[in-house]
A and B are shown apart, each in its own frame.
Chain A
Amino acid sequence: MRVVFVHGACVRDGSWWWHRTAELLAERDVASEAPALPSCGETGKTPDAQGPGLVEDVAAVREVLTAGEELTVVVAHSYGGIVTAEAAAGIGAVRHLLLVSSYLPEVGQSLSSFGGEEPAPFLDIDPEGGTFTVRPDALIEPFLQDCDPGIQRQASNKTVRQSLAILE
């Protein structure tokens, strides 16, 4: 069995976000992988209003999920649940989806279906540049308040600007 971890919005380096659990799973001979998401600028192109967006993220995760026959548990975190909902469809090797504090869209819904009337206060949205991110001063308290200080510090270096095209 292997685990594929799909990270959430506005961050890079899924392997780092998953590393503490990955290490414990490795002790039980379960390997983990974490696909890079193009919308977060992890595959070379700097995100802007034109993308890369959800379509590219789905393709990137699907490529990893179809790469082998090994039984796979997909752990999808937050925005990663939206990517995974589409990427894991119809793949026989996927045995189970574990959705962690995740969005779980129905067919036909997009992330923009879940927004309130006002953007969340922890977001920094740049409509002209076509990107958004988590405000650095608003990362720890909403999202990492129960993590140790070393993790909180490292996490602060793992945020990125993500393409607003994922909302489409």
Chain B
Amino acid sequence: MQAAAWQQLASTYLVCAEDRGTPVDLQREFAGRAGSVVELDAGHHPFLSQPAAVRDLVLSL
């Protein structure tokens, strides 16, 4: 890592609370570095399982 864009740019972290691959505690730790945090009851791929929620989030940014 040479640069960390999330330190310079507006950022939102989407925590996937039902993710069984990436532990939710680890996600929440990373999320603390982002500008804002949204949590969704979804697995690792919310853009496939809950696309309307992800669309709404993208459009709200």
The interface of chain A, by Cβ under 8 A from chain B, is 3, 5, 17-18, 20-21, 23-25, 28, 30, 73, 75, 77-78, 81-82, 84-91, 94-110, 114, 120, 122, 141-147, 151, 155
Contact = CB atoms under 8 A, between A and B. Distances in A.
B39 to A, nearest CB: 11
9 contacts: A77-B47, A97-B10, A98-B11, A98-B57, A99-B13, A99-B34, A101-B19, A105-B4, A107-B4
A86 B2 CA distance: 6
- The prevalent SS among residues of B at the interface is mixed
B11 A99 contact: yes
Contacts, number: 160
Interface of B: 1-6, 8-16, 18-22, 26-27, 30-31, 33-34, 42-49, 51-52, 54-55, 57-59, 61
Q: Which of A89, A90, A95 has the most CB of B within 10 A?
A: A89
B43 A97 contact: no
Given A25-B58, A28-B59, A107-B1, A99 B10 contact: no
Given A73-B58, A96-B9, A122-B21, A107 B3 contact: yes
Contacts of B33: 104, 106
A85 B1 contact: yes
A20 B47 contact: yes
Given A25-B55, A25-B59, 18 more contacts: A17-B45, A17-B47, A75-B47, A85-B5, A98-B13, A99-B13, A99-B31, A101-B15, A101-B22, A102-B27, A104-B6, A105-B1, A106-B1, A107-B2, A109-B1, A143-B19, A146-B18, A147-B45
